[in-house]
């Protein structure tokens, strides 16, 4: 059964492996004991695998935040080139393992999704990315990346889990025989989910699907993928989720009976106030859509997520 679980590349130190510069590990309880129940981990330590020892000197990032230099705090040695070469090679190997996502250690010069970069202007620092994390984002754009710290933020955690499954579906679409029919079907099932992330970008994606002028099927899929990734990279806030839910409910029109409309409005208000999880509101809507036989709503991944996605979203 575990072979069907999402495969997540994880900074080895977060799994408790003693690979940090000072010889320690940094086991993350939520990742290991909670998410670990429904995920398979692929451990990775970019610094050790690039040839550094344990313990080792600490390394800091310097200069341009868009392409920083990784410099040893004691030796002054510039590790940047070796680390980038390693990242390219290892990411190529990793893509063959078909990972769904990555959880990388925050504030690390290698793994950090957001890390301080010294500018050389006194104490001034700017935000950048660790060398491996930046390479992963650039070369595996269909793999969502989050830090372990981000998983403790409910909104970021939910977005990461949703993107794990959404990006997986997109990869499956792109790995098949590209056809206009499949793209149209794909988009019709993603419609509410995309609306919850960005109604504007969702509309732009719909235009790409519908535009008869784009005859080149590869080009159409590429444009669509770019918009899909852009859309899913935008945070689904409560306000945007409420709009998507209201749009879904409007599709049922007269299908809501008796006090059901008031019941839904009450559930939406409680979700807005943070008293009810999003999945509870969606379950209500899904239940009514099923009773009414509303096939378009029932086909929405937003209303009917993958069972593992639901379980991961339900974890506290």
Interacting residues with ligand SF4 (CB under 6 A): 11-13, 19-20, 45-48, 105, 108, 110-111
Nearer to ligand SF4, 90 or 191 (CB): 90
Q: How far is the CB of 5 from ligand SF4 (least distance, A)?
A: 21
* Opening angle at CA 170, ends 165 and 174, nearest 5: 145
Nearer to ligand SF4, 46 or 305 (CB): 46
Helices 217-232 and 154-175: angle between axes, nearest 10 degrees: 170
Q: How far is the CB of 69 from ligand SF4 (least distance, A)?
A: 16
Q: How far is the CB of 48 from ligand SF4 (least distance, A)?
A: 6
What DSSP line would sit under 35-100, residue for residue? GGGS-EEEEE-HHHHTT--SS---EEEES-TTS-EEEETTT--B-HHHHHHHHHHHHHHHHHT---
Nearer to ligand SF4, 105 or 157 (CB): 105
Angstrom CA distances, 308 to 5, 103, 164, stand at: 8, 18, 11
Q: How far is the CB of 110 from ligand SF4 (least distance, A)?
A: 4
Q: Which helix (H) or strand (E) holds 194?
A: helix 180-197
Say if residues 111 and 59 touch (Cβ distance below 8 Å).
no
Q: How far is the CB of 138 from ligand SF4 (least distance, A)?
A: 18
Nearer to ligand SF4, 13 or 201 (CB): 13
Nearer to ligand SF4, 80 or 110 (CB): 110
DSSP character for 275? S
């Amino acid at each position: 059964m575990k072979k069907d679980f999402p495969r997540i590349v994880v900074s080895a130190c977060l799994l408790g492996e003693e690979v940090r510069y000072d010889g320690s590990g940094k086991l993350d309880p939520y990742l290991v004991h909670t998410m670990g129940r429904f995920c398979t981990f692929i451990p990775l330590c970019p610094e050790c695998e690039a040839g550094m020892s344990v313990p080792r000197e600490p390394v800091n990032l310097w200069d341009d935040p868009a392409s920083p230099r990784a410099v040893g705090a004691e030796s002054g040695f510039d590790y940047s080139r070796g680390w980038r070469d390693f990242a390219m090679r290892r990411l190529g190997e990793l893509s063959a393992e078909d990972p769904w996502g990555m959880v990388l250690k925050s504030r690390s010069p290698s793994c950090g999704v957001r890390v301080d970069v010294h500018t050389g202007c006194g104490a001034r620092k700017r935000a950048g990315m660790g060398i491996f994390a930046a390479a992963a984002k650039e070369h595996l754009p269909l793999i969502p990346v989050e830090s372990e710290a981000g998983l403790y933020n409910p909104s970021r955690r939910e977005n990461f889990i949703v993107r794990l499954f959404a990006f997986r579906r997109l990869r499956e679409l792109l790995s098949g025989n590209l056809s206009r029919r499949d793209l149209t079907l794909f988009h019709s099932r993603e419609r509410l989910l995309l609306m919850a992330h960005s109604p504007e970008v969702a509309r732009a994606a719909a235009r790409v699907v519908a535009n008869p002028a784009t005859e080149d099927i590869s080009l159409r899929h590429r444009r669509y993928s770019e918009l899909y990734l852009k859309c899913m990279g935008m945070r689904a806030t409560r306000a945007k989720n409420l709009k998507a839910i209201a749009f879904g409910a409007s599709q049922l029109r007269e299908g809501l009976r008796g006090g059901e409309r008031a019941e839904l409005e009450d559930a939406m208000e409680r979700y807005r106030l943070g008293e009810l999880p999003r999945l509870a509101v969606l379950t209500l809507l899904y239940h009514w859509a099923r009773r009414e036989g509303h096939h378009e709503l029932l086909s929405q991944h937003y209303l009917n997520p993958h069972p593992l996605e639901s379980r991961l979203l339900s974890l506290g």
